[in-house]
Amino acid sequence: MFNELTKLATEKSSDKRLELMTAITDMFITDRQNKSLNEVELFGDVFTKLLKDMDKDGKLQISEKFAHVQDTPKSFAVALIYEDAEVAAPMLQHSNVFTDDDLINVTNLTTTEHRVAVAGRINISEIVTDNLIGHGEPIVLRAVCQNDSAHISNNGFAHMVKHNPDDGELLALLLQREDLPKDVKLLLPHLAGGVLSAVKRVADSHSKAEMRDLMDRTYEQRDAEATEDNLDVTSSLEQVNQVRDGALSLNEAIEQFAAELQSNDLAQLIAEMGHVDVKYVQEVMSQSRGEPLTILCRSIEMSEQAFSNICNMRQKLLNLPLLSKNRYINHFKDLDVKQAKISIGKLKLTANI
């Protein structure tokens, strides 16, 4: 295989290169004899460098082939999981060459779709699921809950309920997990009062009939709250128009909403002024991680005082530590407005909206 790799590294014809890559891939996978360390390292180096010259279909085929290979070179495996999510998914879901740190790094630096793939791995550890849960993305949370082999910490369970009290689908998935903590009070302090006692009974008995009834009532409550939210949107849009007309400054409107803990109105205002989807703003507003919100607020040229008020509001609503709040305020001060606008443009491409 060493000779073939050497030829591949110097081959200039794209067709011949693809032919050689396919042959070497099959050779690497099917050769059950011990490969030399030099061959494995050379394979990783050459294939990692050639990834940029492959089309998406070729990369996907490679990823699918190596997803179950025990001795895939680490450098090459890591390069694959930072590719497009469709290409990365087979490796993220099945490859056993990654450490928890590898998985946490890729979930922090890539997209929602990458995180969904990681959430589907067999026997993912609590440290990885805690990280996934910390991103606060409903589709990722549901994927974690649907994975019976995923290990979820008590803090992870508590975080999901605390920050998603109106997500009936997520709650139903949580209630069906056999590892749901016995002390369900950890999970339920933020559910609306009428359903709290029913949830306790369901968690103890796992009664499917009660669970369905609970879900029906949860959805009814959510629909009623959605009607109220529509009225709130109308009110917040009036203030958006006042800001645009110059009758009210952006910072005055922000400070008013933040002081009254009106996070939905605040999200609507920021979405309108930043020209982004309000669902994206609501999502980042509810996350304990504050980097995306900090960048977004800086990109619309918000004042430091207004952003500080938002941080105060988030600290109260999410029970964030003081050090965390101060860190984001300092980050906001150091951010350049132009760079923030560039960064938020990139963030919008990967937002789950």
Are residue 15 and residue 142 in the same domain, yes or no?
Answer: yes
Could you report the per-residue pLDDT of 202-215, keeping only the tens digit for each? Answer: 555 555 555 556 55
Amino acid identity of residue 304, one-letter, is E
> Do both 124 and 213 map to the same domain?
no
Q: Summarize pLDDT for 42-82 with one digit per residue, the tens.
A: 777 877 877 777 788 888 988 998 898 888 889 889 999 99
**Quick one: 269 and 198 in the same domain?**
no
User: Is 24 contained in some domain?
Assistant: yes
Are 83 and 161 in a shared domain? Answer: no
Question: How many other β-carbons are positioned within 10 Å of the β-carbon of residue 6?
Answer: 12
Would you state the pLDDT for residue 143? 96
Asked whether residue 126 falls in the same domain as residue 172, the answer is no
End-to-end C-alpha distance for the chain, whole angstroms: 46
Residues 117 and 16 in one domain: yes
Contacts of 199 (CB under 8 A, 6+ apart): 171, 175, 184, 188, 191, 214
Please check whether residue 232 lies inside any domain of the structure: no
Task: Quote the domain boundaries for residue 171.
Answer: 153-226
Residue pair 217/194 in contact by the 8 Å Cβ criterion: yes
- State the total domains in the chain: 3
- Residue range 95-106: average pLDDT? 95
Distance between CA atoms of residues 343 and 64, nearest Å: 32
29 and 146, same domain (yes or no) = yes
Residues 175 and 289 in one domain: no
Q: Is residue 282 located within the same domain as residue 203?
A: no
Q: Within this chain, do residues 169 and 300 fall inside the same structural domain, yes or no?
A: no
How confident is the model at residue 233, as a pLDDT?
A: 46
- pLDDT, residue 231, reads 42
